[in-house]
Amino acid sequence: MSILHMVQNTPNTVFKSVFLSAALLAVVGVTGCASKPQVNNSARYAVAPDFYTVRSGDTLSGIAARYGLNYQSIADMNDIAAPYRIFVGQSLRLKNTGAKRSISTQPITQTAPIQRQSIALPSTTTTVTQTPKAPTTPTVVTPKTPVATATTQQNLRWVRPSQGTVLQGFDVAKDVKGIRFGGKIGDPVLAAAQGQVIYAADGLKEYGQLVLIKHVDGYITAYAHNNKLLVSSGQQVTAGQKIAEMGNSGTNQTMLEFQVRLDGKPVNPNSVIRID
């Protein structure tokens, strides 16, 4: 039978009130007992050593929790500032005792103090650090200019790619993107400058048998309408080296169409080779 049913069936009003109050107190008491948090005091911390060597995966807060310590106190004892980074092999003081700290971290090699050395110059016995006994005019040693590792445009030796007559000059408006030389089938076609062959084939029908040579400073030269190719892709060539024989592939006239491109754009070959 429920508590409410018992109260409703009780005739005395005062008794009902007293009984109801007692019942409510009993319910509250039961509820309070059921919701009271249980304190678990079984947690035990490991005994903290004076010093702890950091292992892989450790964090400052994790080490502190393991020994029931405050991570900020550990940080203060070891002069560790936020964001509290620690390193594998680092020795951390966990107790503020008088014990000396044993560092087991990997030592950082300190650069030894710079010692003044005497460096003999190739052409004199006087050393760089020698101090003269009397004030004299110091000898200025001019360093040698370092040798450039790449050939510059000024160092390129440009040559005329054909000894044939000029049939047509550079004229972008007429779609002539280079200089066209006349001649006979088999006449030599020469590399205009030192470089590397990056194409030697007939994949572009309008240019026939074509050779492309890459030079320094963004220059590329093209040699079109050849009858025979004498170089292959990847080959290094020198200025004036015979790379092909003149022909009429891709056109109806025996000729060499010679182009110079800078950063991919055609330029007048006369800007690098005086042909006219």
Among 16-30, 54-68, 92-106, 124-138, name the one with the lowest average pLDDT. 16-30
Best mean pLDDT range from 17-26, 27-36, 41-50: 41-50
- pLDDT, averaged across the chain: 74
The model's confidence at residue 200, banded by pLDDT at 50, 70 and 90, is very high
Mean per-residue pLDDT, 238-262: 96
Position 66 pLDDT exceeds 80: yes
pLDDT of residue 89: 83
Looking at the whole model, is its pTM more than 0.85? no
Task: Give the residue with greater pLDDT, 157 vs 242.
Answer: 242
* 3-state SS track over the chain: CCHHHHHHCCCCHHHHHHHHHHHHHHHHHHHHHHHCCCCCCCCCCCCCCCEEECCCCCCHHHHHHHHCCCHHHHHHHCCCCCCCCCCCCCEEECCCCCCCCCCCCCCCCCCCCCCCCCCECCCCCCECCCCCCCCCCCCCCCCCCCCCCCCCHHHCCCCCCCCCCEEECCEHHHCECCEEEECCCCCEEECCCCEEEEEEECCCHHHCEEEEEECHHHEEEEEEEEEEECCCCCCEECCCCEEEEEECCCCCCCEEEEEEEECCEEECHHHCCCCC
Higher-confidence residue of 28 and 136: namely: 136
pLDDT at residue 235 is higher than 90: yes
Q: Which residue has the higher pLDDT, 264 or 259?
A: 259
pLDDT score of 242 more than 90:
yes
Res 194 pLDDT > 60: yes
As a whole number, mean pLDDT of residues 13-36 equals 40
Q: What is the pLDDT of residue 109?
A: 39
What average pLDDT does the segment 196-220 reach?
A: 94
Which domains, ranges and CATH numbers included, belong to the chain? 51-93 (3.10.350.10), 154-271 (2.70.70.10)
pLDDT at 273: 86
User: Does residue 5 register a pLDDT over 80?
Assistant: no
